[in-house]
Structure 1
Amino acid sequence: MSVRLPSVRSALSLATASVLALSLAACGGTTKESAENNNGSNSGSKATANPNAPIKEGLKLAFLPKQINNPYSTIVNKSGIEAAKEFKGEAKEVGPSDASASSQVSYINTLVQQGHDAILIAANDPNAVCGPLNQARSRNIKIVAYDSDTDKSCRDIFINQASSEEIGRSQVKLLSDQIGGEGEIAILSATANATNQNTWIEFMKDELKKPEYSGMKLVKVAYGDDDDQKSFQQTQGLLQAYPNLKGIISPTTVGIAAAARYISSSQYKGKVVVTGLGTPNQMRKFVKDGTVAQFALWNPEDLGYLASYAAAALSSGQITGAEGEKFTAGRLGERTIGADGEVILGPPFTFDKGNIDDFDF
């Protein structure tokens, strides 16, 4: 069970990060077809929000992660599925076993055929899924991107775990503080096409241009494809290719755990700093054995929960995805939609030896 201390919740929201739009259950006697005609859809008429509309009962939501059996995605989606029960909806998780650019397309097509009210997707590629998603939208199926965005023209709303800029820049600062602002560094990412990873990395590169980081040099961006073994091998390759490497940032839960596992049993332990984005449960042993001093994340349970309620609000007509609209996300309270249909969960939270045992997720 996750520990939810009030002070931590304010920092994480309880653990912040992009407000994931989850499909909410539709309530009332309006059919999907009549809702299409009355509320409009992305295929024609301009939709109008009714903030006083009740959440519809019986909404069908589907979570489509980058890949199934990823520990982080499992936590996010399980929480979203549980949230749907609060508004008397149904939710499920489907998805590919690999995180290739086009691997999600067939799942989107199937979900459209099954008549879901909302599809919640963490996109492997911002463009590869656009055609199928817009086909879904033409049938008044709401699209909530979470964790990793699509092109904004292909979805209704994006639940972002935290400000992309804040995530990217804070990762550089976290590593700089641990290596004294000096030395060669590398980034171990997920897939080369992952929208969230690439956005964070661009902000990392921009942050490194600041004078205070002039002693740090980014020598390589490697890709482990969110595969444990490949990420482990990429870590080994980085250390062999760059013997003077001082630190690795891995902004993916699979990558940071694999990198820490390699370094924990190698000659580099205590010499090469590993940081990035991970969950407390997967990183606890590496923090306690001294391999990792600090890393960051938001609460993935809150991300899935928020996404589910966002999807419900969309499917019920409470919001359309326009900037300034508001909706209530259960225990997380009222949320406001920002520019480009983005909802932000909150700022990233830093875990270390002093607080990691306060969390269980």
Structure 2
Amino acid sequence: MKQRPFARLRAPRSLAAMATAGVMALALTACGGTTKDSASNSGSGDAGSGASASANPNAPIKEGLKIAFLPKQINNPYSTIVDKSGIDAAKEYKGEAKEVGPSDASASSQVSYINTLIQQRQDAILVAANDPNAVCGPLKQARSRGIKVIAYDSDTNPDCRDIFINQASSEEVGRSQVKLLSELMDGKGEFAVLSATANATNQNTWIKFMQEELKKPEYSGMKLVKIAYGDDDDQKSFQQTQGLLQAYPNLKGIIAPTTVGIAAAARYISGSKYKGKVVVTGLGTPNQMRQFIKDGTVTKFQLWNPKDLGYLSSYAAAALASGQITGAQGETLKAGRLGERTIGANGEIVLGPPFTFEKSNIDEFDF
């Protein structure tokens, strides 16, 4: 059955603004050792400032809020779109937002940036975690100083943040990837997963649900032979694709649930003897995948609207920092043009279901 786009995913003429492909990373500047004043810390210890506070849904968003986006790595096209949208959203509520981050996606690469953001006395830190535990120590320090912590795209350990903005239900993403690949492979053959980093929370959660889905009898003709890691690096992902095809001569498909990985895999396949023989699918953006859809390398892939992910994350940060929400299940916030959103279990807000892009609809989107 053909999926229908969810309401927020519109054609470019109806989007308020287009994401640019330019580098949005700001230079990380050195700071003194000042931290949030103790008077501003309404919580206690590592539990975070929201733990003992009560929500006031009618409180206005404070003007001049300072928030910072810390992606897995800067210069990643997907992260640039997400973070720029969040930065633009901050202008709507008269806040000051920026993007900082490492150029590599290693487990500990984000730690020094969190420490600096604490010194800069940010009101909220939004982090897409490379590793769920490596960032916990400094994030707990941030929360103990009254700084709100929002995980987006890739979660931290739940004890280390106030809320998590999930781009889609993790289970739905993982299972839908297997369903799509099965459709494209006619339910038969060997396939591999080309992931980002080995410690990426979102990647590992999706892969777990892929493996659960594969246990169903309708997938008995499919076999997952390898989970490879391209570390969200274009060249390494390209080389991993080449290595998979050499190691597994009967490979019929690749799932790359990472925008860097799917583009690199498609680029390799498009110029090789495997074009038309090996299925490539996963999670990508329309603009990076358009050429591969049109030249027949890729038939279908999925994603959500990354602009909406950044936008919702920004408004959630503002709501937290303004006392409208604390992160408790059942609380609601008004997220600008996205409307009202409710916090679910474990402090999670889900953006929406994944959407399938293909030749018939890809030119309707520009991001």
Matches of 1:307 and 1:292, distance apart in 2: 31
Q: CA deviation at 1:40?
A: 7.0
| Contact 2:282/2:301, CA 8 A, preserved across alignment | yes
For 2:344, the equivalent position in structure 1 comes to 338
Q: Retained in 2: the 8 A contact 1:224–1:230?
A: yes
Which residue of the partner structure matches residue 10 of structure 1?
7
The aligned counterpart of 1:121 is 127
Corresponding residue for 1:292? 298
Query: Match for residue 4 of structure 1?
Result: none
How far does residue 47 in structure 1 lie from its aligned partner after superposition?
1.1
**Matched residue, 2:30:** none
Q: Can you give the 5+ residue segments of structure 1 that lack an aligned partner in the other structure?
A: 1-6, 16-30
Q: Residue 68 and residue 347 in structure 1: after superposition, are their counterparts in 2 closer, same or farther (change >3 A)?
A: same
2:181 is aligned to 175
Match of 2:41 among 36, 42, 57: 36
TM-score, normalising length: structure 1: 0.91
| Residue 136 (str. 1) matches residue 133 (str. 2) | no
**AA paired with 1:8?**
P
What is the aligned residue count?
A: 339
CA distance in 2, matches of 1:34, 1:85: 27
Helix, strand or coil for the counterpart of 1:347? coil
Counterparts in 2 of 1:109 and 1:46: CA distance versus 1, 3 Å = same
* In 1, Cα distance between equivalents of 2:192 and 2:326: 41
Following TM superposition, by how much is the alpha carbon of 1:10 offset from its aligned partner in structure 2, in angstroms? 2.0
**Equivalent of 1:247, from 243, 253, 264?**
253
1:114, 1:43 → 2: CA distance? Answer: 18
C-alpha displacement of 1:329: 0.2
Shift of 1:14: 9.2
The C-alpha deviation readout for 1:91-136, integer Å capped at 9, x for no partner, is 0000000000000000000000000000000000000000000000
Q: Which residue of 2 aligns with 1:79?
A: 85
- SS of alignment partner, residue 219 of structure 1: strand
Letter in 1 for 2:62: K
Distance 1:11 1:305 in 2: 11
Matched, 1:51 2:57: yes
Cα distance in 2 for residues equivalent to 1:81 and 1:270: 40
Instruction: Determine the structure 2 residue equivalent to 1:18.
Output: none
Inter-partner Cα distance in structure 1 for 2:142 and 2:78: 26
Q: In structure 1, give the amino acid aligned to 2:81.
A: I
Which residue of 2 is the match for residue 155 of structure 1? 161
Structure 1 counterpart SS, 2:149: strand
In the TM superposition, what whole-angstrom CA distance separates every residue of 1:173-204 from its partner, at most 9, and x where no partner exists?
Answer: 00000010000010000000000000000000
Once the two structures are TM-superposed, the CA of residue 43 in structure 1 deviates from its matched residue by 4.9
- Tell me the residue number matched to 2:214: 208
Which of 318, 325, 333 is the equivalent residue of 1:319?
A: 325
Q: Distance in 1 between matches of 2:366 and 2:9?
A: 14
Structure 2 residue identity aligned to 1:313 = A
| In structure 1, C-alpha distance between the alignment counterparts of 2:303 and 2:149, rounded to whole Å | 25
- One-letter amino acid of the structure 2 residue matched with residue 156 of structure 1: D
Higher relative contact order (CA 8 A, sep 6+): 1
Matched position secondary structure for 1:56: coil
2:197 is equivalent to residue 191 of structure 1: yes
Rounded Cα–Cα distance in structure 2 between residues aligned with 1:203 and 1:32 = 43
Report if aligned partners of 2:37, 2:145 keep a CA contact under 8 Å in 1. Answer: no
Evaluate the alpha carbon distance shift between residue 211 and residue 354 of structure 1 in structure 2; reply closer, same or farther with a 3 A threshold. Answer: same
User: Could you say which residue in structure 2 is the equivalent of 1:261?
Assistant: 267
Instruction: Give the letter aligned to residue 5 of structure 2.
Output: V
What is the CA–CA distance in structure 1 between the aligned matches of 2:353 and 2:7, rounded to whole Å? Answer: 9
Correspondence for 2:29: none
Contact 1:13 1:302 in 2 (8 A): no
Contact 2:11/2:364, CA 8 A, preserved across alignment: no
Gaps of 5+ in 2: 13-35
What CA distance in whole angstroms lies between the structure 1 residues aligned with 2:66 and 2:59?
18
Contact kept in structure 1, 2:70 and 2:127, CA below 8 Å: yes
Distance 1:11 1:349 in 2: 11
Q: Distance in 1 between matches of 2:171 and 2:101?
A: 28
Contact 1:250 1:275 in 2 (8 A): yes
SS at match of 1:100: coil
Q: Is the 8 A contact 2:6 2:355 kept in 1?
A: no
1:105 pairs, out of 111, 119, 131, with 111
Question: Which secondary structure state, in structure 2, belongs to the residue aligned with residue 74 of structure 1?
Answer: helix
Q: Deviations over 1:265-310 (max 9, x none)?
A: 1000000000000000000000000000000000100000000000
Rate the CA distance shift 1:14–1:208 in 2: closer, same or farther, 3 A.
farther
Cα distance in 2 for residues equivalent to 1:136 and 1:43: 8
Asked whether the 8 Å contact 2:10–2:365 carries over to 1, the reply is no
Query: How far, CA to CA, are the matches of 1:209 and 1:287 in structure 2?
Result: 30
The answer to whether 1:91 aligns with 2:97 is yes
